[in-house]
């Protein structure tokens, strides 16, 4: 499916898209790279699109804060569980607690006009770029 | 007796010798403080945490003609070591030296208490080991007392009360933990208060009942402090022993601590694995009292998800049971080898047969 024109999701931005059958997907722009996650926290279903986007803090020892990957973590607005936007994996249990991730990439409008993807709510213009989510 | 198997000799992790009065300690004070005890008319430091008259403080049939108890090695032998088939018992004096606000007096009396334990208990029965009671006015004082006594390997633990002045996980106490690790000592934390604060976080209690139950809150807060401040992570080889804490509160508390940690762990990024795992690795509890009816003990043990955490204690002379029923009812028989002995050997480096090899175990 087509999530929208690239211009609608600037770097640092996010967009919630309807994926049909009640499913919602949130698309993030990380410095020009696009990532798509199910908009449903695996804990109790909180809307990740409404969460704080933050960095990843670790500590080599108590009192020393190592703050990296600023803007690459999304924190659920309900209970603050942190997920890696790039992978959908939770910080505290990355193997078992994950948000479903969908491949996302940018396609030329000219390719989409004839391609397999659907844009139900807006016309695709051949001269623009679009974010495509394989959901 | 502790076990139907006479070959399974127990390690009693919590017994309480009680000085009859402050004069008991005078021979172990320098001349100035010994005279101060007389000149100031100071009589005793029995703590309000353990009122001598309270039935729980000394079991009725363990009291002497004065109504006191636990004042001599002979009583300990006759009332606990022999009947419970104890191979090793760890003395944890609860005399109220922690209550003193005068820093110098606290240090002098605490030193005297530890030296009294050494001379009148450790020297009189080979089965005995002891905790170093810590003067907790300053970390320097506490560390100095550890350094003074650690060369005597019969001291196997450093001892603090669960309700002190500042939560025990705070960084100011880390030199104490470092000294414990360096000397192969555990950090024991016993129920009781130094009365720097109300015994509950909502204020002073009216009744003995309230205060005794409130220790459980204090253990929860202390455990949370040790985890969240990163103290346990900083000293991964440190074992912390909660004494007379009760047991059954722990799984429910860990559930809450861990659940909230999942959301706000960014506050404490040094807590980089599940709090319950940290606690299972480094915290031990004496199983006297256990705080559950016999038919529920199995469920609680399942919730703990560990058979390594519980240490047996008679809690002598506190009144936790009658007769020789010194194992909390409901503990499955298969657990007894660990409860009575194996877990203690794994917890206290100085009790292990290879203890000498562990001396100098660094953080």
- B28 and B93 in contact (C-beta within 8 Å)? no
Place of tokens 């009365």: B195
Q: How many domains does chain A have?
A: 1
Pairs of CB atoms within 8 A across A/B: 40
Identify which of B234, B121, B119 has the alpha carbon closest to the alpha carbon of residue B172.
B234
Main-chain dihedrals φ then ψ at residue A134, nearest 5 degrees: -90, 80
- Average pLDDT of the residues in B51-70: 95
In this predicted structure, what is the pLDDT of residue B361? Answer: 44
The pLDDT tens digits for B65-123 are 999 999 999 999 999 999 999 999 999 999 999 999 999 999 999 999 999 999 999 99
Interface contact flag, B270 A66, Cβ < 8 Å: no
Interface contact flag, A82 B230, Cβ < 8 Å: no
In this predicted structure, what is the pLDDT of residue B356? Answer: 45
C-alpha to C-alpha distance for B224 and B254, rounded to whole angstroms:
9
- Average pLDDT of the residues in B331-349: 96
Question: For residue B129, what are its two tokens?
Answer: 């080991």
Identify which of B83, B87, B68 has the alpha carbon closest to the alpha carbon of residue B12.
B87
C-alpha to C-alpha distance for A21 and B16, rounded to whole angstroms:
68
Q: In Å, how far from its chain's centre is CA B153?
A: 18
- Average pLDDT of the residues in B258-264: 94
- Average pLDDT of the residues in B207-236: 97
Interface contact flag, B263 A81, Cβ < 8 Å: yes
Name chain A contacts of B234, Cβ cutoff 8 Å: 61-62
The pLDDT tens digits for A37-68 are 999 999 999 999 999 999 999 999 999 999 99
For the question of an ipTM over 0.90, the answer is no
Q: Per CATH, is B10-348 categorized as 3.40.1160.10?
A: no
Question: For residue B243, what are its two tokens?
Answer: 């004494």
CA distance A65 to chain B (A): 7
Q: No. of H helices and E strands in chain B?
A: 14, 8
Average pLDDT, chain B: 95
Going from the C-alpha of A100 to that of each of A42, A77, A133, the distances in angstroms are 9, 17, 13
pLDDT of B362 strictly over 70: no
> Could you tell me the CATH number of the domain that includes residue A42?
2.102.10.10
Longest Cα–Cα distance in chain A: 56
Name chain B contacts of A54, Cβ cutoff 8 Å: 266
Residues sharing a CB contact under 8 Å with residue B359, sequence separation 6 or more, in sequence order = B183, B184, B349
Q: No. of H helices and E strands in chain A?
A: 1, 10
- B243 and B313 in contact (C-beta within 8 Å)? yes
- B294 and B280 in contact (C-beta within 8 Å)? no
Q: In Å, how far from its chain's centre is CA B140?
A: 21
For A28, the domain range is 2-133
């Amino acid at each position: 499916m087509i999530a929208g024109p690239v211009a609608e999701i600037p770097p640092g931005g996010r967009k919630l898209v309807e994926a049909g059958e009640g499913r919602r997907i949130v698309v993030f722009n990380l410095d020009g790279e696009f990532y798509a996650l199910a908009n449903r926290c695996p804990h109790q279903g909180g809307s990740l699109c409404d969460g704080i986007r933050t960095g990843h803090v670790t500590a080599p020892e108590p009192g020393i804060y190592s703050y990296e990957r600023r803007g690459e973590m999304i924190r659920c607005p309900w209970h603050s569980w942190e997920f890696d936007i790039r992978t959908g994996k939770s910080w505290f249990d990355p193997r078992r607690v994950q948000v479903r991730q969908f491949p996302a990439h940018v396609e030329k409008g000219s390719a989409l006009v004839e391609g397999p993807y659907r844009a139900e709510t807006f016309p695709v213009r051949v001269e623009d770029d679009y974010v495509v989510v394989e959901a | 007796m502790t076990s139907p198997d006479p070959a399974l000799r127990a390690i009693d992790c919590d017994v309480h010798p009680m000085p009859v009065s402050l004069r008991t300690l005078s021979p172990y004070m320098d001349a100035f403080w010994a005279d101060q005890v007389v000149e100031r008319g100071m009589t005793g430091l029995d703590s309000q945490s353990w009122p001598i008259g309270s039935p729980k403080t000394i079991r009725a049939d363990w009291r002497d003609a004065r109504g006191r108890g636990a004042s001599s090695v002979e009583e300990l032998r006759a009332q606990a070591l022999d009947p419970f088939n104890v191979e090793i018992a760890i003395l944890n004096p609860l005399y109220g030296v922690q209550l003193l606000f005068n820093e110098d007096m606290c240090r002098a009396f605490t030193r005297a208490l530890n030296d009294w334990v050494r001379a009148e208990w450790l020297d009189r029965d080979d089965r005995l080991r002891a905790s170093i009671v810590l003067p907790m006015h300053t970390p320097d004082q506490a560390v100095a007392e550890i350094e003074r006594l650690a060369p005597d390997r019969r001291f196997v633990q450093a001892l603090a009360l669960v309700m002190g002045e500042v939560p025990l996980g705070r960084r100011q106490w880390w030199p104490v933990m470092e000294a414990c690790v360096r000397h192969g000592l555990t950090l024991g934390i016993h129920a009781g208060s130094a009365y720097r604060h109300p015994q509950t976080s909502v204020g002073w209690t009216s009744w003995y009942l309230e205060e005794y139950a409130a220790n459980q809150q204090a253990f929860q807060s202390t455990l949370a402090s040790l985890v969240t401040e990163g103290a346990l992570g900083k000293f991964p080889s440190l074992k912390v022993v909660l004494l007379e804490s009760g047991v059954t509160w722990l799984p429910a508390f860990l559930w809450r601590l861990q659940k909230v940690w999942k959301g706000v762990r960014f506050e404490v990024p040094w807590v980089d694995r599940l709090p319950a795992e940290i606690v299972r690795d480094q915290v031990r509890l004496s199983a006297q009292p256990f705080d559950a009816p016999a038919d529920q003990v199995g469920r609680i043990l399942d919730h703990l998800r560990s058979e390594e955490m519980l240490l047996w204690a008679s809690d002598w002379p506190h009144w936790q049971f009658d007769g020789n029923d010194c194992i909390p009812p409901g503990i499955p028989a298969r657990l007894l080898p660990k409860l009575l002995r194996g877990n203690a050997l794994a917890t206290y480096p100085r009790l292990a047969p290879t203890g000498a090899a562990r001396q100098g175990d660094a953080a």
